[in-house]
Amino acid sequence: MPGLPSPITVPRRHRETAAAWTYVSPAVLIILGLGVVPVVWSLLLSFQADDLVTPSRFVGLDNYAALAQDPHFGQAVGNTVLYTVLYVPLSILFGFLLAQALNRRIRLIGVYRTLVFVPFVLSATAQGVLFSFILDPQFGAANSLLHHLGVSPQGFLTDPAQALLVLVGITLWSGTGFCVVVYLAALQDVPPSLVEAARLDGAGTWRVLRHVTLPAVLPVTAFLVLWQLITSLQVFDLVYVTTKGGPLGSTTVIVYFVWEQAFKNFTAGYGAASAYVLALALLVVVLAVRLVRRPRKALR
């Protein structure tokens, strides 16, 4: 019939598919080259003894067996776990409390929100350089202030008992801002009618927080827990710039251990094996969070 569009023929469909792949193929090649290929190559490397100079040789699971008996790797795992246990809940707690405080209309509220978020924008390298000067044991501003207050000078990043805790404090200063922004967006989506209805029923601040606000931000909290877990397990830049894993290995985390084995000790296969242990830990974290969230979704 005249006026009706002609059906798409098979050759035309093939031409359209070929044209689409022509446009998409550069991006696909980049993803394969920068993502998939290195992942597969490092997995194969983890089963080899490779010093990046001489030809590699297949050793099977020897690298993984050596990791299980390596006290330095055990120390790195312990440091990473302690860092994560401290950083994740504290960053989420402080982020929620600050978001609650900033979720109101007061004078200069935009300035306060900006000041809270600005540290998150700074790179970990910039943060490390900044706090290396501030916390310098001899010439830093922190010890100068403590001296004026009559407190004895502290080692900070040079004290094995303090260094990891100081790194947690630095990352809290920077990472809490992200939690604040996410929580602010969630709090502003809480219907005011629910809060007003709860207050009309006689609910105080604590009951409104417990029965209205917290359930409303629960999905956001699950996202932040997962995000902060992944971030803390992958911490590297700040450690590299400030302590180089010291003193006495007290700040050596898993990613720094991977870098140290691969590019400092030139045991690339051993470093790749430790990297895949970290990847497995990240996978377990993601699956655990998904399993925890699934029953909650089913209840809804």
For the domain bounded by 65-299, which CATH number is listed?
1.10.3720.10
What are the two backbone dihedrals, phi and then psi, of residue 22, each rounded to the nearest 5 degrees?
-60, -40
Residue 253: its pLDDT value, please?
A: 95
Work out the average pLDDT over 262-276. Answer: 89
Give kind and range of the element (H or E) at residue 69.
helix 62-69
Within 13 Å of residue 143, how many CA atoms lie on the same side as its CB? 16
Position 300 scores a pLDDT of: 54
pLDDT score recorded for residue 289: 76
Tell me: the pLDDT tens digits for 109-137? 888 888 888 888 888 889 999 999 999 98
Instruction: Report the pLDDT value the prediction gives residue 298, as an integer from 0 to 100.
Output: 53
Segment holding 78, helix H or strand E = helix 71-102
Residue 88: per-residue pLDDT: 95
Pairwise pLDDT comparison (9 vs 148), residue with the higher score: 148
215-260 pLDDT per residue, tens: 888 889 989 998 999 899 999 999 999 999 989 999 999 999 999 9
Percent of the chain with pLDDT over 70: 93
- Asked if 174 and 90 touch (Cβ cutoff 8 Å), the reply is no
Q: How far apart are CA 61 and CA 223, in angstroms?
A: 35
Structure tokens of 154?
């502290």
Q: Angle at which helices 71-102 and 109-121 pack, to 10 degrees?
A: 160
Tell me the per-residue pLDDT of 67-94, one tens digit each, with 9 for 90 and over: 999 999 999 999 999 999 999 999 999 9
Structure confidence at residue 197 as a pLDDT band (50, 70, 90): confident
The predicted model gives 131-157 an average pLDDT of 90
Which pLDDT score is estimated for 147? 87
Residue 53 DSSP code: S
- pLDDT averaged over every residue in the chain: 85
User: How many Cβ atoms from other residues are within 10 Å of residue 208's Cβ?
Assistant: 19
Report the pLDDT value the prediction gives residue 4, as an integer from 0 to 100: 54
Torsion of CA 247, 248, 254, 258, to 10 degrees: 100
Residues 247 and 163 sit within 8 Å (Cβ to Cβ): yes
Question: 173 or 17, which is more confident?
Answer: 173
Measured from the Cβ of residue 36, the count of other Cβ atoms closer than 10 Å reads: 11
